[in-house]
Amino acid sequence: IHGYPNSTYQPNEPISREQAAKIIASVAKLELIVEPFTDVADKSVFALFIGATQASGLMYGYNETLFKPQEIISREQAAAIVLRLYKHLDDTINYFEIEEATILDMQEAMEEGKVTSEELVTFYLDRIENYDDNINSILHINEDALTVAQALDQEREDGKVRGDLHGIPVLLKDNYDTKDMPTTAGSLSLEGSIPQDDAYQAKRLREEGAIILGKANLHEFAFGFETISSLGGQTHNPYDLTKYA
C-alpha cells in the first residue's frame, strides 16, 4: 500500500472502495479491464482496477451501474473481500509439497511449471545441510549438482526430456562408482578414492537425466545391515533418531 504524494502514510486514514480495488487487483495480479459503472470516470487511475476486481468476483458494485468508488469500505465489506481474495489466491497459486513427493509427483510438477530441477536440488541440499548432522546419512555431495540441474531445466524448456528421471535428484549408496565423486564403500581405507569411470548404473541414471546429488553412507563394504562405517559412522532413522537406518 503506497503512501500519499506528500510523503506521508496516514495509517489511520480510511480506505475507499476504489483504493481497495487497486490494492486487491495488484496483490492478485489481475488482468486490468474496463469497468461497467456509470459513477466511475473512465480516465480515473482506479477505473481499470475496479473493472478487474469486479470481473474476477473479488469486489462487486451496489448494482449494475453504481460502484460508489469514493465510499469508505466497511469492516463487513473488508472481511468479505479478504475471504474472496484468500480463496482466489488458494485456487490460483501453484503449491507443491516436496518433502514426501514421489518421482512421478516431481515430474508432473516440473511439467506444470510448479517447480524446477534447480529448485529441487536446492531444497535437498538445504535439507542435508540442516539435518544431516543428526542423521549422518551423506558421505559426499556433488559440487556440480546445481549446474547440472540448470542445464537439465534448459533442456526441458527447449523441449528435450531425456526420460522419466529427467531433472530428478538421486543419491547413490557409496559402493557405486562415480567418476566425479569419491567411492569409498564407507571405509577409511578408500577415503578420497575417485574412480576413473561411472558404474553402469550411474551411467544409465545420468543418461536418463537424473542428477546424482551425492553418495550415501552404508554398512562398511555392505557387509551388514546396521548402516555403520568407519568413514561415515552410524546413520540414524530420520523419523526416529533413537533407531538406526
Hey, what's the cell of 225? 545391515
Q: How far apart are CA 24 and CA 142, in angstroms?
A: 44
| Mean per-residue pLDDT over the chain, rounded | 92
Supply the pLDDT for residue 10.
66
Contact 217, 229 (CB under 8 A): yes
**Binning pLDDT at 50, 70 and 90, where does residue 28 land?**
confident
Q: What is the pLDDT of residues 182-216, one digit of tens each?
A: 999 999 999 999 999 999 999 999 999 999 999 99
**In terms of pLDDT, which residue wins out, 205 or 78?**
205
Adjacent-strand bridge partners of 16: 72
Burial code (b: 16+ CB inside 10 Å, e: under 16) for 47-86 equals: bbbbbbbbbbebbebeeeeebbbeeebeeeeeeebeebbe
- Count of other CB atoms within 10 angstroms of residue 203: 14
- Look at residue 88 and tell me whether its pLDDT is greater than 90: no
* pTM for this predicted structure: 0.65
Supply the pLDDT for residue 1.
53
Q: How far apart are CA 9 and CA 1, in angstroms?
A: 9
Supply the pLDDT for residue 210.
98
Supply the pLDDT for residue 194.
97
- Look at residue 122 and tell me whether its pLDDT is greater than 80: yes
Report the candidate in 56, 38, 135 with the shortest Cα–Cα distance to residue 47: 38
Q: Could you give the percent of the chain with pLDDT greater than 70? A: 94
